């Protein structure tokens, strides 16, 4: 009884730690004072000022577009790679497989610097293209791993059964493998999207002045000091994320 | 006919994989390795000749002190994430399937919120007129507000706050898979709750612990925005040093040399991880 | 059966290595058109590998697989007139019963109307037509088994390969499906190659059985031949229970020979498969149901001719029969299966009863002592 109470208390404290800063930010996003953490009355003016901040909205749209594009490219690349790793035996397969987990564990700063270097060497100007390529590089291993795990769950005999019934490689992929891995592909896309939209460090190195995306915009905002509209942005982003998580959770549950 | 179509498919896919990995994965890292052996140059950043100058610079006392401080901070962060995260994960793994899914989602929600924003939100908690100081002053526990913000402590709190989910999720993935009947078998054979935990649960979840520690330790070394937001100018993590070498000092060879050292360290960690993971996997197969 | 068998599938000197591990060793086997042939053997004997070679999932390391006179060893599975029923059925989980069964015909590019007719006729044959909209996960394992059958035979294969298709079913259902499978095979007239480790299944369903052990074929024959005339000790011991006695040949006549078994004198018929010579050692094999047991009321009396004296060590009641384990004076443990005869009250056995054990004359199998 007591131990159960203690367990619940412990769980509650950890959640408090995780959520309190967010709660504080949400509360202060409605605070009328412009340069203090003392409460001085309710207002929604910070949200209004967010909506009127053209450059902020522009960078948010860019971020969404970048996240959607890089998630899509990562999903295509990652899925092809997962199928290839699962179906084919080739020289260097172990190296490719090992590299995937190295990329996933690799500190973002090293990926950012090394990608910036290759873009400079290849003469690709920093901007949307480099952001897209870089985001794809750090997202696709997550897709590959998710899809590969699913493929491993699908027994090899299903592909054999299809071949036995007259299917060639192309039909096996189209009729058996792809339909079976669709949920994993969808999950991989969602994961890539969130990784991309949250990335600061890699984007910091590979984005040019011409193409400012939301995390970097936020970065410059928070570095210039406390502004209540950052609180409002924080709250707004939190609610958007929360809604996305809820909807995707519902979708996944309904599928089952 | 079909055979050739299948072969074409295979060849095309494999070429794509090799080119992708070659250009986007191996070439960039080789460039960093190469840069670490080149010489600093004011306009083009790098020039010949090849030398070990950059690696010698790593031994510089001032630089070494900053690096070691960052390593110490990362170590303490990892330790606290483990100490907080393991019991938490163990407790929630004991709930029913639906409750577990809910608890896990509650972990994931802040994890999916922009990490800059989350660290920024900590300012309102840690600042001199922030929540903690207000609380302590209100109950008369302190007379003067404590300086929490812009200290190593603030960076530590920010790191634990940011990285705790990275400790919880891999441990949860392993704990969830542990067959309940194994735990029951241990209890049936006379093990008490503590012995079950110590002799069964901990060893079986060891790969998750190692994975969690790696996934906390490496970012704790490199997430420079956490130290930027919460540590002010005084606290630098390894990531800030690398960034400054490239972006401010324009000393690419030294920046690259630190990166190479960090990569080498990561590879050692990953190697150890796969070794630990494999032994447990093999033991499982033996059963 | 009256017509002379026409060989459909021939395996010639087929050897298969997995790495340095030899799983099939120079296998020769001819499978006749329309027959039900079972590959029987313990796990790891190579029977599934043999099946996968015929299906085309594996290529032989050496040797040939010939169908209707044409070599098919190196054709991919989709170009052989062979279909497989997999052990765990391998039904496509994302397709309905209908789509699963239609898959092979769709791959052939048949028009939809034709496919529909064929699929329903196939599903009717396995009594699954009313379930055509279900997904595999919504079917019992017995139903899944039927769908897997329909999905394979709808393609009109020359040979249908079945890899332990009943092993996932419970005992009762397995019995029923054995009969259904056999009927289906007669109905379709398709050659079945059936893999199992269950000797009862093999004996009850097959036209011929090939017994495999460690990558080699030990014996091929009808179920009666396999059971009654095992060619070697492996087949004798693997298929059914058997009692083994050591014998020493003391005299050889024209049609018979004399031997000593457990100190008793026997005159047995000469085996046709090998020569016996004086002083040679032999094994005398007897099925438990060929043993004759009689209770001894006076233990002091001599055992009659051709009978061994023994004591019942334990007995297992089986319903219709009773298995007796008898410790003979010579130190052997003999198993004897006795049918109940309700009119005969004498046939109530108990442990420690003293009995005489003999066997029905000429029902023994003689093998050389290797």
Question: What is the pLDDT, as a whole number, of residue B132?
Answer: 83
A113 and B246: CB-CB below 8 Å? yes
Is A165 near chain C, with CB under 8 Å?
Answer: yes
Instruction: Measure B164 CA to nearest chain A CA, in Å.
Output: 9
Cβ–Cβ of A180/C76 closer than 8 Å?
no
CB contact under 8 A, B112 and A24: no
User: With an 8 Å Cβ cutoff, are A160 and C93 in contact?
Assistant: no
Average pLDDT, chain C: 87
Do you know the residue count of chain C? 370
Contact A105 B214 (CB under 8 A): yes
Residue A232 has pLDDT above 60, yes or no: yes
User: What is the tens place of the pLDDT at every residue in B116-172?
Assistant: 888 888 888 888 877 888 888 888 788 877 788 888 899 999 999 999 988 998 899
Select from A15, A92, A194 the Cβ nearest to the Cβ of B112: A194
Say what the pTM is.
Answer: 0.74
Cα(C237)–Cα(C285) distance, integer angstroms: 10
C7-18 and C21-32 as β-strands: parallel, antiparallel, unpaired?
antiparallel
- Sheet (strand C62-67) strand order: C21-32, C7-18, C62-67, C70-71
DSSP string, C104-117: HHHHHT--HHHHHH
Contacts of residue C269, Cβ cutoff 8 Å, sequence gap at least 6: C255, C256, C362
Burial of A253 (C-beta count, 10 Å sphere; 0-12/13-18/19+) = exposed
Domains of chain B, by residue range, sit at 57-286
Partner-chain residue, chosen from A77, A105, A201, that has the shortest CB–CB distance to B20: A77
Contacts of C20 (CB under 8 A, 6+ apart): none
Q: What are the structural domains of chain C?
A: 7-238 (3.40.50.300), 243-368 (2.40.50.140)
Among the partner-chain residues A19, A38, A88, the one whose CB lies closest to the CB of B10 is A88
CA distance A64 to chain B (A): 13
CB contact under 8 A, B9 and A25: no
Q: Which chains touch B (3 or more CB pairs under 8 A)?
A: A
Distance from C-alpha of C255 to C-alpha of C60, rounded to nearest angstrom: 46
pLDDT along chain C (370 residues), means of 10: 75 90 91 93 89 90 90 85 88 90 89 93 92 91 91 91 88 88 89 92 92 92 92 90 88 86 84 82 90 81 78 85 87 85 68 86 84
CB contact under 8 A, C57 and A163: yes
A62 vs A66: CA distance, rounded Å = 6
CA distance B105 to chain A (A): 8
Chain A interface, best mutation among C104, C115, C156, by max A CB count within 10 A:
C104
Over the stretch A187-228, which tens digit does the pLDDT of each residue have? 888 889 888 888 889 999 998 778 888 888 888 887 776 566
How many Å separate Cα B207 from the centre of its chain?
15
In angstroms, the separation between the Cα of residue B123 and the nearest Cα of chain A is 8
The pLDDT tens digits for A4-14 are 888 889 999 99
- Give the bridge partners for C310, in sequence order: C328, C355
Q: Which of A103, A113, A133 is the closest to B259 by Cβ?
A: A113
Q: Does domain B57-286 have CATH number 3.40.50.1100?
A: no
A65 touches chain B (CB under 8 A): no
Asked whether B74 and B167 are in contact (CB, 8 A), the reply is no
Query: Hey, are the CB atoms on B130 and A37 less than 8 Å from each other?
Result: yes
Query: Which of B24, B103, B170 would best serve as a mutation to test chain A binding (most A beta carbons within 10 A)?
Result: B24
Predicted confidence at residue B77, as pLDDT, reads 96
Return the residue matching tokens 């290849």.
A122
Question: Quick check: C94 and A180 CB within 8 A?
Answer: yes
How large a percentage of chain A has pLDDT more than 70? 92
What's the mean pLDDT in B53-62?
Answer: 82
A170 touches chain C (CB under 8 A): no
Chain A interface mutation, best of C51, C53, C55, C57, highest count of A Cβ atoms under 10 Å? C57
Give every CB contact of residue B102 below 8 A, 6+ residues apart in sequence. none
Nearest by CB: A114 against B2, B31, B94: B31
ipTM of the complex: 0.85
């Amino acid at each position: 009884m007591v131990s159960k109470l203690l367990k619940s208390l412990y769980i509650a404290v950890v959640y408090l730690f995780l959520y309190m800063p967010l709660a504080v930010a949400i509360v202060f996003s409605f605070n009328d004072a412009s340069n203090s953490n003392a409460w001085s009355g309710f207002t929604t003016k910070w949200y209004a000022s967010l909506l009127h901040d053209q450059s902020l909205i522009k960078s948010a749209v860019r971020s969404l577009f970048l996240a959607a594009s890089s998630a899509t490219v990562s999903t295509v690349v990652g899925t092809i790679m997962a199928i290839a790793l699962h179906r084919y035996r080739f020289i260097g397969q172990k190296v490719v497989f090992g590299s995937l987990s190295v990329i996933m564990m690799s500190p973002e700063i090293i990926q950012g610097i090394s990608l910036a270097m290759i873009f400079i060497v290849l003469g690709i100007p920093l901007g949307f293209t480099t952001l897209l390529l870089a985001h794809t590089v750090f997202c696709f291993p997550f897709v590959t791993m998710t899809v590969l795990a699913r493929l491993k769950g699908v027994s090899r005999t299903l592909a054999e059964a299809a071949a036995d019934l007259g299917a060639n490689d192309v039909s096996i992929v189209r009729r058996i493998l792809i339909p079976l891995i669709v949920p994993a592909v969808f999950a991989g896309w969602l994961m890539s999207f969130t990784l991309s939209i949250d990335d600061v460090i890699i984007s910091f190195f590979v984005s040019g002045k011409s193409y400012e995306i939301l995390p970097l915009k936020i970065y410059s905002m928070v570095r210039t000091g406390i502004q209540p509209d950052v609180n409002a942005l924080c709250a707004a982003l939190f609610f958007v994320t929360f809604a996305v998580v809820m909807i995707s959770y519902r979708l996944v549950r309904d599928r089952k | 006919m079909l055979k050739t179509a299948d072969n074409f498919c295979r060849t095309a896919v494999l070429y794509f994989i090799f080119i992708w990995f070659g250009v986007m994965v191996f070439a960039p890292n080789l460039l960093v390795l190469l840069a670490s052996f080149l010489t600093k140059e004011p306009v083009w950043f790098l020039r010949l000749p090849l030398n070990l100058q950059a690696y010698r610079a790593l031994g510089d006392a001032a630089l070494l002190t900053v690096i070691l401080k960052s390593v110490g901070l990362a170590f303490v962060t990892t330790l606290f994430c483990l100490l907080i995260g393991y019991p938490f994960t163990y407790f929630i793994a004991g709930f029913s399937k639906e409750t577990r899914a809910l608890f896990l989602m509650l972990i994931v929600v802040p994890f999916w919120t922009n990490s800059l924003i989350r660290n920024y939100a900590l300012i309102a908690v840690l600042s001199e007129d922030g929540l903690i100081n207000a609380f302590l002053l209100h109950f008369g526990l302190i007379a003067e507000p404590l300086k929490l913000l812009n200290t190593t402590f603030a960076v530590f709190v920010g790191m634990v706050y940011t990285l705790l989910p990275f400790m919880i999720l891999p441990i949860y993935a392993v704990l969830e898979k542990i067959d309940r009947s194994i735990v029951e078998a241990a209890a049936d054979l006379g093990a008490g709750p503590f012995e079950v935990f110590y002799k069964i649960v901990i060893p079986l979840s060891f790969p998750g612990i190692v994975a969690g520690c790696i996934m906390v330790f490496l970012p704790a070394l490199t997430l420079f925005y956490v130290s930027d937001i919460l540590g002010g100018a005084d606290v630098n993590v390894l990531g800030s040093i690398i960034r400054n070498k490239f972006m401010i000092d324009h000393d690419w060879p030294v920046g690259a040399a630190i990166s190479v050292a960090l990569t080498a360290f990561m590879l050692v960690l990953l190697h150890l991880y796969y070794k630990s993971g494999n032994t447990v996997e093999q033991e499982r197969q033996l059963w | 059966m009256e017509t002379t068998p026409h060989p459909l599938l021939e395996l010639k000197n087929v050897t298969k290595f997995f790495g340095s591990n030899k799983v099939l060793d120079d296998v020769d086997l001819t499978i006749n058109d329309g027959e039900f042939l079972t590959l029987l053997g313990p796990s790891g004997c190579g029977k599934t590998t043999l099946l996968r070679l015929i299906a085309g999932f594996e290529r032989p390391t050496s040797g040939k697989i010939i169908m209707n006179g044409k070599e098919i060893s190196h054709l991919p599975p989709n170009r052989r007139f062979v279909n497989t029923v997999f052990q765990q059925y391998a039904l496509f989980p994302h397709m309905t019963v209908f789509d699963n069964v239609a898959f092979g015909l769709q791959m052939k590019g048949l028009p939809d109307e034709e496919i529909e007719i064929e699929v329903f006729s196939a599903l009717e044959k396995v009594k699954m037509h009313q379930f055509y909209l279900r997904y595999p996960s919504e079917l019992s394992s017995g139903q899944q088994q039927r769908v897997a059958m329909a999905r394979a035979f709808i393609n009109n294969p020359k040979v249908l390969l079945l890899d332990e298709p009943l092993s996932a079913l419970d005992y009762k259902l397995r019995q029923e499906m054995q009969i259904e499978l056999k009927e289906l095979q007669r109905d379709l007239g398709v050659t079945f190659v059936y893999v199992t480790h269950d000797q009862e299944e093999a004996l009850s369903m097959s036209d011929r059985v090939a017994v495999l052990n460690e990558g080699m074929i030990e014996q091929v024959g009808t179920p009666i031949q396999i059971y009654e005339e095992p060619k070697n000790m492996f087949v004798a011991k693997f298929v059914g229970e058997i009692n083994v006695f050591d014998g020493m040949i003391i005299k050889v006549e024209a049609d018979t020979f004399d031997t000593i078994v457990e100190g008793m004198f026997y005159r047995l018929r000469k085996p046709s498969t090998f020569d016996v010579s004086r002083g040679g050692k032999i094994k005398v094999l007897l099925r438990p149901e060929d043993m004759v047991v009689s209770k001894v009321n006076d233990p002091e009396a001599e055992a009659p001719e051709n009978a061994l004296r023994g004591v019942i060590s334990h007995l297992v009641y089986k319903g219709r029969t009773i298995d007796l384990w008898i410790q003979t004076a010579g130190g052997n443990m003999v198993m004897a299966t006795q049918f109940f005869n309700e009119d005969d009250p004498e046939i109530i056995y108990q442990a420690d009863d003293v009995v005489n054990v003999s066997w029905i004359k000429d029902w023994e199998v003689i093998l050389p002592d290797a």
